Chains A and B, each alone.
Chain A
Amino acid sequence: MNAPHESMLDDVAVYAVGALSPTHARRVRDHLASCEACAAEYAALAPTVALIGMSQEACPDAEHGAVTVSPLLKARIMRRVRSTSQDVLPRSGRSSRSLIWPAYLVAAACFAIAIFSTLLNLSLMQQLKSSQTQVSAAQNRSSSLARSLVDERTELADIASGQGQRFAVPGGQIVRVRHRLYLTLHDLALPAHGKIYQAWTLPKGSKLMAPSTTFVPDSHGTAIVALPVNADITSAVAVSVEPEGGSKQPTSKPILVQSLE
């Protein structure tokens, strides 16, 4: 195997790790389509790369300071899922007749409740230790939320300030304040099921639009999007409707294209 091809095999490994720039990755992808040796190398290395990700699986308990997942997260997700699932079954096996309990059964039930309460107390004591760990995680989260609020305040101040450059686009405007870039759109229809809006940015000197943030408008049809690019080196912005999850290249005609120059 010649030296240039050895170098391409190195590139294939970096591609498998996901550490190539989009331009470089495209070159490797094109090569993989036509070179059996490199395609075989990629097929051998890609599962190994997946295993690197799997090595990060969090631990099921909080012992030894391991990374653990809040049980509240599952509750949050399952609430959303259950609210949209179609498998809500009718309750069965429950009689609608009211029951009259004799006195001895009431006494037995009270005794059972007392025992249950005692056991519950013991269980709660055990959960206290785990709750203390959760409090610590919540404190970290609070700091992070504070940082997010600062970011949001900066965005609102930028958009409301009237400073910077504003580019009118159909249904809104693009706001450029120093090196930051925002897209503010109104009366935007919700995309069809399975679709999403995606912003695109054109780096100065490039002829290829780069994929940017995906978004959907709120219930009033408003979308305010901070574009994660440096406005100083961006020459145009576009928006198109794409499949959910976004696309690497536009798959539909853009609903807006605006030059920033």
Chain B
Amino acid sequence: MDRNAEELVARVRARDADAFETLYDAYHRLVYGVAMRMLGDVAASEDLTQAVFLKVWSTPELFRGGNFAAWIVRVTRNRALDTLRSRSARPESELPESLPESDSIEDVAFAHLNAASLRTALEQLPREQREPIELGFFSGVTHEEIARQSGIPLGTIKTRIRAGLRRLRAMLDGVVTA
């Protein structure tokens, strides 16, 4: 899929609308799904999906290779964070920083996983590890805010996030090699 995506993006750079449409068909559910999870609002999620894809169309060179799905998830999350920031009364210094979009994520081993198997793997994580990871990724709050809201010490939250990610990684490695 992602080797194919790289070729499609190259065609989009040459202003090929058909290639863009193919890219949209392959990835719009991913963008919209992340937007809905973060914003919980159909209109805002559609607007965000439109903004992300028009950004792909207007500046395809922002994608510098690697796993396209991983890249577009980051772009979507960062855009959704902008929306959450605009809704928040908290100062920006207390809000999480956007994920870097220029990093190229190379992990072809994961490219064949589908959303259902990923959701299953996430559900298998212990709740105390899954919740801070999902809150950190989707909710636009810092780990300090997660600790404050849950009443759990900050160090414990950090350790659980790391342990959860490592465990998830090990589980998904198992899925790939199975």
Which chain B residues lie closer than 8 Å to A170 at the CB level?
none
Give the interface SS of chain A, mostly helix, strand, loop or mixed. helix
Residue pair A22, B97 in contact (C-beta under 8 Å): yes
Question: If the complex has contacts A47-B67, A77-B50, are A56 and B158 also in contact, measured as CB distance less than 8 A?
Answer: no
Q: How far is the CA of A64 from the CA of B76 in the complex (A)?
A: 25
Cross-interface CB contact of A141 among B15, B29, B43, cutoff 8 Å: B43
Residue pair A74, B24 in contact (C-beta under 8 Å): yes
A30 CB to nearest chain B CB (Å): 13
A10 (CB) vs chain B CBs: closest residue = B158
Number of interface residues of A (CB under 8 A): 74
Q: How far is the CA of A6 from the CA of B15 in the complex (A)?
A: 48
A50 CB to nearest chain B CB (Å): 3
Residue pair B95, A19 in contact (C-beta under 8 Å): no
Give the interface SS of chain B, mostly helix, strand, loop or mixed. helix
Residue pair B34, A56 in contact (C-beta under 8 Å): yes
Within 8 A of A (CB), among B79-102: 81-82, 85-99, 101
Residue pair B59, A53 in contact (C-beta under 8 Å): no
Residue pair A245, B136 in contact (C-beta under 8 Å): no
Number of interface residues of B (CB under 8 A): 90
Task: Check if A157 is an interface residue, CB within 8 A of chain B.
Answer: no
A164 CB to nearest chain B CB (Å): 17
Cross-interface CB contact of A87 among B17, B33, B70, cutoff 8 Å: B17
Which chain B residues lie closer than 8 Å to A228 at the CB level?
85-88, 92
Task: Check if B113 is an interface residue, CB within 8 A of chain A.
Answer: yes
- Which segment of A101-109, A113-121, A184-192, A208-216 sits at the interface? A208-216
Residue pair B42, A144 in contact (C-beta under 8 Å): yes
Question: If the complex has contacts A77-B50, A144-B44, are A25 and B172 also in contact, measured as CB distance less than 8 A?
Answer: no
Which chain A residues lie closer than 8 Å to B76 at the CB level?
53
Question: If the complex has contacts A13-B165, A213-B86, are A21 and B96 also in contact, measured as CB distance less than 8 A?
Answer: yes
Task: Check if B152 is an interface residue, CB within 8 A of chain A.
Answer: no
Question: Which one of B28, B42, B58 has the highest number of Cβ atoms from chain A below 10 Å of its Cβ?
Answer: B42
Cross-interface CB contact of B137 among A17, A57, A60, A80, cutoff 8 Å: A17
Task: Check if B16 is an interface residue, CB within 8 A of chain A.
Answer: yes
Complex A-B, nearest 8 residue pairs according to Cβ-Cβ distance, in ascending order: A19-B136, A53-B73, A13-B162, A50-B70, A47-B107, A55-B118, A228-B86, A57-B115
